[in-house]
Structures are given as structure tokens and as C-alpha cells.
Amino acid sequence: MLGARLLDAGVPAVGVACGVALDAADGDEGVLFPPVVGIVPDAVAVDPAAGTTDEEAPR
């Protein structure tokens, strides 16, 4: 699965606000993608700057 597809389809399919960790335990090579606007689709993003709180996030 391509990374963009994982963020665009996989994150919304989970059903709760979440990000994605790739090789997070691999020291300097790990990457974290938080569930914020610009990373995941806006409809499932939790972004305090945009006025969305965790309680308001889609479930």
C-alpha cells in the first residue's frame, strides 16, 4: 500500500482519530504522521489550531 493511500483511506477506516507511525522504534529512521489537517483527510483530523478537539473528532 502506498503511504498516501494509507493516510487517505486507512486512517478514516479506523473509526477514531489516529495518526500513523512508520518504523517508530527504528531510532533516527522512524517517522510519525500526526492526525492533523494537511496530513490526514480534514474530516478525520484533530487539529487544535482549526478549533477541533479530540471530543469533537469523528468516531
Tell me the average pLDDT across 3-32. Answer: 83
pLDDT in tens, 23-56: 877 667 888 888 888 888 888 888 766 555 555 5
- The pLDDT of residue 56 is 55
* Residue 18 binned pLDDT confidence (cut-offs 50, 70, 90): confident
DSSP secondary structure string for all residues of the chain: --HHHIIIIIHHHHSS---EEESTTSGGG-EEE-SSBTTB-GGG---GGGT--GGGS--
What's the CA gap between 29 and 58, in Å, rounded?
A: 31
- The pLDDT of residue 29 is 80
User: What torsion, rounded to 10 degrees, do the Cα atoms 55, 18, 10, 5 define?
Assistant: 120
Query: Whole-model pTM?
Result: 0.62
